[in-house]
């Protein structure tokens, strides 16, 4: 295989908040990228990707349905690496968990991994979530929740927390597949991803920030472990793909913090907004930890500070007219 052929990779969910940044950084590094979208005719998915530097020569867009194996295989064919980001993120308004979340997350992941194995892909980076780590109410209170902690599926199902359930089941299925087939899989578990927005839509994490700025006092007990810059998440994906020493799961947060800590910092930095007072201890049983992402740090990764994450996120929301 030529040197150029060694740098052809597939990014599923390439039009999303993290996916767009990942495609951008891969193109900057000279990769050829097969980016998948749900609808090639939808400019909200395609236009911002086609405008990226290097897209003319280095980007190919593929329309896929995660539940249609043939479309998935067509996007992965000819690549040597896969970044699997595509998975629905619906935290509320879940009426049909199987159709809305579980099937696309679990069966979609299986289709991607099967296609990767069949196409001779060298390594797959699977984007999981902190939602596959928490909620975990029975975890020891004096032990930080890191990569060895898993979300409690029974608790999720009993409380209708279908997003964490979908991410947990999909990640476990990925590990089972890797063990059975020998496919080289590494996993990243990002926290609340914020920062400059490339697509013309807002992701769930940035919507959370908008709600906070507009005065919402929600506490996100089961959906929070700390913030992380979107560019850091994209860079961490590339590090995990390129570094042979990377293995297993990788928590990806600036630090493990409570939502109350984050809200207080937003209020301090932007007193002009009516940010509500939120109790500091919003995540019962979550131990704060400055080195929560020690596995990534040990690979040489440096995280953007919470202050900079907030600044970049708020300025992007302002610039795009989501807040004034």
SS3 232: helix
Cα 276 from Cα 273, distance rounded (Å): 9
Cα 178 from Cα 244, distance rounded (Å): 16
Helix/strand/coil percentages in the chain, nearest 5? 45, 15, 45
Is the previous residue joined to 135 through a cis bond, with omega within 30 degrees of 0? Answer: yes
> Distances from the Cα of 323 to the Cαs of 36, 202, 260, 265, in angstroms?
30, 12, 21, 18
Q: Could you confirm whether 231 is annotated as catalytic?
A: no
Give the Cα-Cα-Cα angle 105, 110, 111 (nearest 5 degrees): 100
Beta bridge partners of 84: 12, 126
Q: Which of 167, 179, 294, 320 is catalytic?
A: 167
Cα 5 from Cα 302, distance rounded (Å): 30
Active site residues: 167
């Amino acid at each position: 295989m030529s040197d150029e052929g060694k740098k052809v990779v597939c990014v599923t969910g390439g039009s999303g908040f993290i996916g767009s940044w990942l495609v951008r950084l891969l193109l900057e590094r000279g990769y050829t990228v097969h980016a998948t979208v749900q609808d090639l005719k939808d400019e909200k998915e395609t236009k911002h990707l086609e405008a990226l530097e290097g897209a003319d020569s280095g980007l190919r867009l593929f329309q896929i349905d995660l539940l249609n194996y043939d479309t998935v295989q067509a996007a992965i064919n000819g690549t040597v690496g896969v970044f699997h980001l595509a998975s629905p993120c619906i935290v509320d308004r879940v009426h049909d968990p199987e159709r809305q979340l579980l099937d696309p997350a679990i069966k979609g992941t299986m289709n991607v991994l099967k296609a990767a194995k069949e196409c001779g892909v060298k390594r797959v980076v699977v984007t999981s979530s902190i939602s596959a780590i928490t909620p975990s109410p029975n975890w020891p209170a004096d032990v930080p929740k890191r990569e060895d902690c898993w979300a409690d599926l029974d608790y999720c199902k009993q409380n209708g927390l279908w997003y964490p359930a979908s991410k947990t089941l999909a990640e476990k299925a990925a590990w089972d597949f890797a063990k059975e087939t020998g496919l080289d899989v590494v996993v990243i578990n990002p926290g609340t991803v914020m920062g400059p927005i490339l697509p013309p839509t807002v992701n769930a994490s940035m919507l959370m920030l908008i709600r906070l700025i507009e005065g919402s006092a929600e506490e996100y007990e089961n959906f929070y472990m700390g913030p992380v810059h979107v560019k850091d998440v994209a860079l961490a994906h590339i590090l995990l793909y390129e570094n042979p020493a990377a293995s297993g799961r990788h928590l990806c947060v600036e630090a493990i913090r409570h939502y109350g800590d984050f809200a207080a910092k937003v209020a301090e930095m932007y007193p002009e907004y009516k940010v509500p007072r939120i109790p500091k201890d919003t995540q019962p049983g979550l131990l704060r930890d400055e080195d929560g992402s020690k596995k990534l740090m040990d690979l040489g990764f440096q995280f953007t500070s919470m202050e900079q994450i907030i600044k970049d996120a708020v300025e992007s929301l302002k610039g795009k007219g989501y807040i004034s």
